[in-house]
């Protein structure tokens, strides 16, 4: 990061954190198209911050893989491709299945209660209304909390960190798809079976269901979104 462009002022770190949070959310939600250039002046205008906090936020998003830094050419949203989605999917399955298996083995009653509660809140959402803009983010928040709860007791902060990074990357692709509403019954079934496997303390079953859930979602995204580099015929994204 070029620290000479603008003097660092008191509170600028807090401003950068705020810009980072908002920009991360906007990229995941699809406010900016894959590959779109993120002009510093435009970002300053959108987020009401100076050059330094904006550049710091973009640099941190680049380290997380949501943004690409192009040497002297600035920043772009990470492009979307079939191969990138496959890589994200395969690694998300590897890490989250390990995390949920560990959580089922190690989790206490409070963890189990968190999973049950998160599933209850998610299941109460009317799946026919997922496509309504005012309600979409409500469902997204419930959905994210359920998935976070499933792996929360794995006992490894590093594993949770990498799972969160991959979840963000995966969510960006999932939100590019236009068929989320039509897939809700299948998603709801997966969520219910996952919650049951947790309560029954079945780590292998939970890991297998989660792998299928992630893989099926990735395949639905690949079918509904035109992604660069997709082979012909398209390979099925795997669920291990």
**Which pLDDT does position 240 carry in this prediction?**
46
Distance CA 222, CA 233 (A): 12
Residue 2 lies in a domain: no
Pair (65, 97) in one structural domain: no
Pair (52, 94) in one structural domain: no
Residue 240 lies in a domain: no
Token readout for 169 is 């990357």
Q: How far is CA 111 from CA 154, 186, 234, in A?
A: 10, 25, 39
Pair (38, 155) in one structural domain: no
Distance CA 1, CA 105 (A): 43
Distance CA 79, CA 35 (A): 4
Residue 58 lies in a domain: yes
Per-residue model confidence as pLDDT tens digits over 153-200:
999 999 999 999 999 999 999 998 865 545 566 778 899 999 999 999
Distance CA 98, CA 103 (A): 9
- What sign does the CA torsion over 188, 192, 198, 201 have? negative
Query: Domain range spanning residue 192?
Result: 82-224
Which range (130-139, 143-152, 213-222) has the least confidence? 130-139
Distance CA 113, CA 133 (A): 30
Pair (123, 155) in one structural domain: yes
Pair (44, 72) in one structural domain: yes
Residue 5 lies in a domain: no
CATH at residue 201: 1.20.120.530
Given a contact cutoff of 8 angstroms between Cβ atoms, the answer to whether 51 and 40 are in contact is yes
Instruction: Mark which of 43, 77, 111 sits at the end of a domain.
Output: 77
Pair (91, 183) in one structural domain: yes
Per-residue model confidence as pLDDT tens digits over 198-207:
999 999 999 9
Pair (104, 189) in one structural domain: yes
Pair (17, 123) in one structural domain: no
Residue 187 lies in a domain: yes
Q: How many helices (H) and strands (E) does the chain have?
A: 9, 2
* pTM across the whole model: 0.84
Pair (40, 88) in one structural domain: no
Pair (136, 207) in one structural domain: yes
Q: Report whether the peptide linkage leading into residue 20 is cis, meaning its omega lies within 30 degrees of zero.
A: no
Structural domain count, the chain: 2
Pair (109, 203) in one structural domain: yes
Residue 229 lies in a domain: no
Residue 176 lies in a domain: yes
Per-residue model confidence as pLDDT tens digits over 11-69:
456 888 999 999 999 999 999 999 999 999 999 999 999 999 999 999 999 999 999 99
Residue 164 lies in a domain: yes
Given a contact cutoff of 8 angstroms between Cβ atoms, the answer to whether 214 and 170 are in contact is yes
Given a contact cutoff of 8 angstroms between Cβ atoms, the answer to whether 142 and 121 are in contact is yes
Pair (143, 216) in one structural domain: yes
Q: Categorize the per-residue pLDDT at 4 as very low, low, confident or very high, splitting at 50, 70 and 90.
A: very low
CATH at residue 50: 1.10.10.10
């Amino acid at each position: 990061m070029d620290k000479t462009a603008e003097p660092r002022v008191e509170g600028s770190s807090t401003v950068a954190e705020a810009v980072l949070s908002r920009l991360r959310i906007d990229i995941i939600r699809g406010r900016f198209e894959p590959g779109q250039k993120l002009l510093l002046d435009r970002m300053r205008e959108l987020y009401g911050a100076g050059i330094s906090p904006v550049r710091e936020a973009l640099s941190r998003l680049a380290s997380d893989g949501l943004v690409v830094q192009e040497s002297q050419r600035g920043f772009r949203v990470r492009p979307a491709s079939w191969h990138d989605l496959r890589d994200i999917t395969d690694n998300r399955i590897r890490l989250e299945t390990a995390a949920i298996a560990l959580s089922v083995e190690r989790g206490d009653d409070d963890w189990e209660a968190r999973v049950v509660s998160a599933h209850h809140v998610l299941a109460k959402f009317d799946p026919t209304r997922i496509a309504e803009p005012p309600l979409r983010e409500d469902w997204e928040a419930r959905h994210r909390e359920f998935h976070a709860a499933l792996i929360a007791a794995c006992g490894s902060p590093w594993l949770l960190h990498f799972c969160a990074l991959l979840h963000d990357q995966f969510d960006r692709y999932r939100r590019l798809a236009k068929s989320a509403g039509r897939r809700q019954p299948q998603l709801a079934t997966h969520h219910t079976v996952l919650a049951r496997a947790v309560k029954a303390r079945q780590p292998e079953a939970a890991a297998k269901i989660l792998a299928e859930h992630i893989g099926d979602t990735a395949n639905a995204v690949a079918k509904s979104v035109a992604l660069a580099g997709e082979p012909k015929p398209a390979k099925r994204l795997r669920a291990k």
